[in-house]
């Protein structure tokens, strides 16, 4: 079995300009964004191992919450793609990313309606 390290950030609620319908295109709508990021890992993590041996969880949170202002993402797939591009560009140790996005505004009975996108480093 191969060793692995997955960083996870789940259930961030982010207001994003997204959608295709007229009622969606002029106001941000809430998305619930969760992600798992697989990294190359060190051979060992001793108690004093510095953060540079891993990746800061805040990088994941920032990639999802600090989206470009005023940009309208027609599809939530484009939101996921933008986040993935940012994370792959930040760190060569990022091997694979899974992002789940749920459109909260269209749920009527608490259901989760959205996408899960998975991409490996090319």
How far does CA 37 lie from the centroid of its chain?
A: 9
Domains in the chain, start-ordered, CATH in brackets?
5-120 (3.30.1130.10)
User: pTM to 2 decimals?
Assistant: 0.91
Residue 2: pLDDT band (50, 70, 90) is confident
Q: Which two tokens stand for residue 15?
A: 């207001």
Q: Which two tokens stand for residue 88?
A: 């792959």
Query: Directed axis angle between helix 76-90 and helix 57-65, to 10°?
Result: 140
**Residues in Cβ contact with 35 at an 8 Å cutoff, skipping those fewer than 6 apart:** 8, 9, 10, 60, 64, 83, 97, 98, 99, 100
**Residues in Cβ contact with 2 at an 8 Å cutoff, skipping those fewer than 6 apart:** none
pLDDT, tens digit, 9 for 90 and up, residues 28-59: 999 999 999 999 988 889 999 999 999 999 99
């Amino acid at each position: 079995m191969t060793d692995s390290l997955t960083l996870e950030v789940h259930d961030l609620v982010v207001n994003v300009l997204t959608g295709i319908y007229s009622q969606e295109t002029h106001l941000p709508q809430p998305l619930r964004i969760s992600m798992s990021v697989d990294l190359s890992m060190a051979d060992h993590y001793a108690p004093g191992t510095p953060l540079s041996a891993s990746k800061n969880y805040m990088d994941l949170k920032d990639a999802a919450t600090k989206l470009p202002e005023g940009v309208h993402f027609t599809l939530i797939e484009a939101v996921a793609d933008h986040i993935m591009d940012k994370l792959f560009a930040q760190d060569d140790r990022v091997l694979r990313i899974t992002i789940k996005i749920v459109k909260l505004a269209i749920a009527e009975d608490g259901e989760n309606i959205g996408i899960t996108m998975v991409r490996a480093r090319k």
